[in-house]
A and B are shown apart, each in its own frame.
Chain A
Amino acid sequence: MKLNINGKPVEVAADPDMPLLWALRDVLGLTGTKFGCGAGFCGACTVQLDGEPVRGCQTPVSAVGTAKITTIEGLSASAWGRKLQDAWVALDVPQCGYCQAGQLLAAEALLRTTPKPTDADIDAAMSGNLCRCATYTRIRAAIKQAASA
């Protein structure tokens, strides 16, 4: 099966039913995308397909087709991604850090479509991504900092 991951064509030998999450982590060794709940509740496995955030655990690898996959390992290719990463580091967003890959991919999709998000925009775009350490205050601040960078 051929996939396009972070701008590069990749050949993946995986069962077509295998969720993209596990193809990335176990077959391709891209462990930045995280397993959290396996049921679409937590958003830890968020990746982008053609720029749209999707749940890696709910997306069979066969459903990806020609869509371009962006994972946390490829986020720096985006100008918004770099601004967000810098804000995440500078504002010291992470506690345990486990959810933050998914948070960043959701935030990048938000800023690309809504460069000056309101609090309501952030609530709507980010409430699918759980942070067990509850770093929400700083995630919100970092999105705003990236938006004004």
Chain B
Amino acid sequence: MSVSRRAVLQAGVVAGGGLSLGWQLTGGAKAAVPGQLSAFVQIGSDGAIVIAAHQPEIGQGVRTSFPMMIAEELDVDWAQVTVQPVLGDRATYGYQLAGGSSATPTQFERMRRLGASARAMLVQAAATAWNVPASEITTGSAMLRHAASGRSARYAEMASAAAAITPPKPDSLALKNNADFKILGKRIPGVDNRAIATGKPLFGIDTRLPGMVHAAFAKSPVFGGKLKICNRAAALAVPGVKGLVNVAQRRDLKTQIDVGLPGIEMLQEGIAVLATSTWAAMKGREALACVWEGGDAAFQSTAAWEAAAAKAFKDGPQKPGYMNHGNAPAKLASAAKKVTADYSYPFLAHAALEPINATAHVKNGRCELWLSTQTPEDARRMVALALGLKVEDVVIHMMRSGGGFGRRLMNDFAVEAAVIAKAAGVPVKLTWDRPQDFAHDWLRPGGWHKLEAGLDEKGDIIAWHDHFVSFGADGALNPTAVIDGSLFPSGVIKDFRADVTVLPIASTLGWLRAPINNAFAFVTQGFIDDCAIAAGRDSLDYRRAVLGTPRAIPIAEEFSGETGEDMKGTPYNTGRMRGVLDKAAAMAGWGRAMPPRRGLGIAFHFSHLGYFANVVDASVGNDGAVTVHHVWVAADIGKQIVNLSGAENQVQGSVIDALGAALGQRITFAKGAVEQQNFGDFPLARMDMAPQVEVAFLSTDYPTTGLGEPAYPSLAPALAGAIHQATGKRLRQLPLDTSQLRA
């Protein structure tokens, strides 16, 4: 879930300079509600402590972890806190985005300062009331105390007076020492857990409004395709169908500010079926029996792309020397040994379990939306543009998302719902079915790598050469398919060269959990194993040699800003990587003897500012079936884990998610359209394949960073390593073709 550099710079402004955001509801007589200390903190006279959860919740736990940060510095007990979801409203709350594992690194300190600010206002109110110095007042569990005079008060008693105080300058606030934390670092269950376990309406798809109709939308499975023929009368004859809405193609909706992809932000043409139930709407869409023709993407097929990649490997790259550090060709020519290997990986879909949906109501020049989205501000601006409204006349209710994984960075569905609702004149809930989710996803692009390494006399890598083939329009790599200076081994191996060939694509590409990294780690870590084997050395020892002495290597100049977040000035720290590598190896007992057809594999990867290594224990049956028994993960995401329960959950989930992808997921195209329709041909990990996943967090003296993504990339290469140790066969293509592993 990457974000553009532009977006992160904006976040930086919020986190660094513009700390007034979120304080704006306060300020003397302007306080709208008694006890409203800021946009984020309200303390009722009844003692209720209400903290705003302003980040989009997609399962990464921010509705819990962000209020925890505020509550810690507000100095209240977690049990005293009520968490309040809020609107998508950047002017009030600042940065609201679930992407790039960026929320924690960019907002951790800001959230703490919001809590500390509210606490300081309460302390000042008490100091004034008691006529004592503020410095003599202590707090805890939502109480104010003055030891010398023996006075005390509940926050509730001072909240109204505190709300009239001008908030202190954020930089003037003292924050707690980590050792004094009572909430941060603990295991705090998610605030919505009980509502989830009892089936309360929380998700976008649960929205129900008076007078609402349900909509299904027919559009071409080939991107940009035009309607040739359909049967409107048959659709209108379906019981429950109330009407049809024609939607015209729009190619001018390119307003995304948080996540922008060049030139392909488009509303596809189609026909919306309005009905009294989702089921009737979907039956109506079937009855339309639309036939589509043409489309920008009509030329696309997986078979043709595979042939084009093979041809590029044979004929040479389109863009030789796309990246070029040192002199890899010369080092390769003089190397004692050369190692070569080809790797590839497929397109992947996000397949969030909550199907794509949006509810919209357009009335009196305003549009109100209930959305499961990762980017509410983008949704707001795109809907405003699509309907010709002012941004402030679009209201976004941020609903809990039933998974995001990067899919809900894009708001095509919100625009569709708004356009349909405007025509309908009543509230409309648009729901895509699962085949549409696959057909109209923003896919993780596939890619091919032809690799060549030069080894010296000892077998160490002295040069690395990659011919990378992936996708883009107009001859340039798509932002979701880059190779750049943030990606290992750039910088770590000094003599490094990457050539590039770009294959044309017109379908929508997007960011999928740990984008780019989720593919590159399989390639680069697998190839390190290839080199280790060629050198006759152990995979762990060899990796230690590759990392070398602990040092901070600046991200190379060719940095696209697309591999996570703005990592400029964030070096690749080989010492931190060595730390997690050694820890994972120790946890797993690396080097121990394994039974026949069972092996251990190891891999590391840095992404989204997090250092991760894992060891996989897998066995291979005589039929080739792979069973993963255990995965040990060591992580370094800095000094402070925010919520230990949520943190472990993210890592365990990422690992098992990656396992499902490695063993079976693949999106293919034929005649311009995605071939996969449902979970039957795009298998996710299930309970019976889920291994035990043991997680260790190393606390290091670095800022805390995010966890939604960086545990994912290193699983697949470690699994391939374990399979190699078990069978002697190295699989270099994802998904892993286990039929090659039969005994």
A residues near B (Cβ < 8 Å) are 14-15, 18-19, 22, 25-27, 29-39, 41-42, 44, 71-73, 75-76, 84-85, 88-101, 104, 122-124, 126-140
Contact: A136 with B198, CB < 8 Å? no
**In the assembled complex, which residues on chain A have CB atoms less than 8 Å from the CB atom of B652?**
134-135, 137-138
A105 to B201, CA, bound (A): 17
Q: Residue of B at shortest CB range from A100?
A: B196
With A26-B214, A100-B196, A134-B685 given, is the CB distance from A18 to B656 under 8 Å? no
Contact: B687 with A89, CB < 8 Å? no
Contact: B353 with A71, CB < 8 Å? no
B360 within 8 Å of A by Cβ? no
14 contacts between A and B (CB under 8 A): A15-B280, A22-B278, A30-B199, A73-B198, A92-B190, A92-B646, A96-B57, A97-B202, A97-B203, A98-B203, A100-B197, A101-B199, A130-B679, A137-B656
With A89-B193, A129-B687 given, is the CB distance from A32 to B199 under 8 Å? yes
Task: Bits for B203-216, please: 1 = Cβ < 8 Å to A, else 0.
Answer: 10110100000100
CB-based closest 10 A-B pairs: A32-B199, A98-B402, A96-B59, A72-B199, A134-B656, A136-B690, A95-B59, A41-B679, A97-B196, A22-B279
Q: By CB atoms of chain B within 10 A, which of A34, A71, A92 has the most?
A: A92
User: Which one of A18, A36, A123, A132 lies within 8 Å of B687 (CB-CB)?
Assistant: A123
**In the assembled complex, which residues on chain B have CB atoms less than 8 Å from the CB atom of A71?**
199
A100 to B199, CA, bound (A): 9
Q: Residue of B at shortest CB range from A72?
A: B199
With A92-B189, A96-B354, A137-B690 given, is the CB distance from A32 to B198 under 8 Å? yes
Q: Residue of B at shortest CB range from A26?
A: B277
Closest-CB distance, B633 to chain A (whole angstroms): 12
B residues near A (Cβ < 8 Å) are 57-61, 187-190, 192-194, 196-203, 205-206, 208, 214, 239-240, 276-280, 282, 351-355, 400-405, 431, 433-434, 645-646, 649-650, 652-657, 660, 678-680, 684-688, 690, 692-693
Contact: A97 with B402, CB < 8 Å? yes
A35 to B357, CA, bound (A): 11
User: Which one of A14, A25, A39, A128 lies within 8 Å of B680 (CB-CB)?
Assistant: A39
**In the assembled complex, which residues on chain B have CB atoms less than 8 Å from the CB atom of A29?**
208
Contact: B431 with A132, CB < 8 Å? no
A30 to B686, CA, bound (A): 27
**In the assembled complex, which residues on chain A have CB atoms less than 8 Å from the CB atom of B657?**
132-134
With A95-B649, A134-B657, A136-B656 given, is the CB distance from A27 to B277 under 8 Å? yes
A139 to B690, CA, bound (A): 11
**In the assembled complex, which residues on chain B have CB atoms less than 8 Å from the CB atom of A73?**
198-199
Contact: A32 with B200, CB < 8 Å? yes
A89 to B679, CA, bound (A): 28
**In the assembled complex, which residues on chain A have CB atoms less than 8 Å from the CB atom of B190?**
92, 94, 97
Contact: B187 with A92, CB < 8 Å? yes
**In the assembled complex, which residues on chain A have CB atoms less than 8 Å from the CB atom of B653?**
95, 133-135
With A31-B206, A96-B58 given, is the CB distance from A18 to B277 under 8 Å? yes
User: Which one of B280, B402, B686 lies within 8 Å of A34 (CB-CB)?
Assistant: B402
